[in-house]
Amino acid sequence: MTAICATTPYDAEISGEPSLLKRPVKDLALALGALGAYCTSNLGYPPVHVKGPIEGGTVTIPGNVSSQYVSALLLAGPLAEKPVEVCISGRLESKSYAKMTMHMQHEFGVLVHANSDLTRFQVHGQTYRSSEVEVEGDWSSAAFLLAGGAVAGAKVNIHGLAEKSDQADRCMLDILERMKAVVSQDSASITAEKSKLEPVEVDVSDCPDLFPAICALCATAHGKSTIKGIRRLRIKESNRVQVMSEGLEHMGIQTQESEDSFTVHGGRPHNAMIDPHGDHRIAMAFGVLGLCTEAVTIVDAECVAKSYPSFWSDLQSLGAKVSAG
């Protein structure tokens, strides 16, 4: 929205709930300023004040902070007065999200040129046209139900997920298979069922949203699992590394953390009270782990509404005992 507002000649302020105000926007604000917009932030964080229009030009942004900056600039770029070139310093993490953005722009009549490793994007002035598209089912949300099927007693069958998808979190299937989970897929559905999971080593640089769900799986796999590529997870809705570590420790699961890796010593999680710090994915991850215990109490459980409002009722429909305190 910050980038879209930068395409208009009007003053706009972008703000949000407390967790959003902790997410950095400095690099995006600087890029929009370099393209000709007026854009200020609160020491690099929201609220953001922005006024356009952007004129165009070349900007360079880091590739290891947020692919959302790239998507934002690509969405706004066609509406600039002159061509826009976006250069990435270092490796672009979460590349699939940039690919999804370009694919959807193409659906609405806009063409973006990019080099093979997605470190340089070129956008010329174009006009979006109306279109009718079918939005894929969300692999990010489905990951928690697949994890639930793998760690609990019920077989979970999920419909509506694209078998061939650019969504980064589709790799949840590969991770489950590497952990020796019993999963199957056909053109209509995905099925996961209770399995004796093996520890795994996985890199989440390109699929950071899977980190909480993977932690839940690793907590029940007997042995040491290592999750790499976690650096950016400290600037999500919460510091996901810290919050997952605290919650797992409360459930009797030992963890170790370094700058870019997280180790989980799997075992038998026990009852605990968990504070997800308002993070929807953390709450869902511990909801999944609750299936392995007599009871887990999750504070502020309704925070799942950010991405999956029916999560608790869907979990209940699969046989879980869910009650509001």
d(C-alpha 55, C-alpha 82), whole Å = 6
The alpha carbons of the chain give a radius of gyration, in whole angstroms, of: 21
State yes or no: is 314 an active-site residue: no
206, 209, 279, 314: the active-site residue = 209
Structure tokens at 256: 């170790």
d(C-alpha 268, C-alpha 216), whole Å = 11
CA angle at residue 195 from 192 to 200, to 5 degrees?
Answer: 95
From the CB of residue 314, how many other CB atoms can be counted at a distance below 10 Å? Answer: 18
| 3-class secondary structure, 82 | coil
d(C-alpha 144, C-alpha 172), whole Å = 10
Residue 318: closest CA among 200, 181, 88, 150 = 150
- By annotation, the residues acting in catalysis are 209
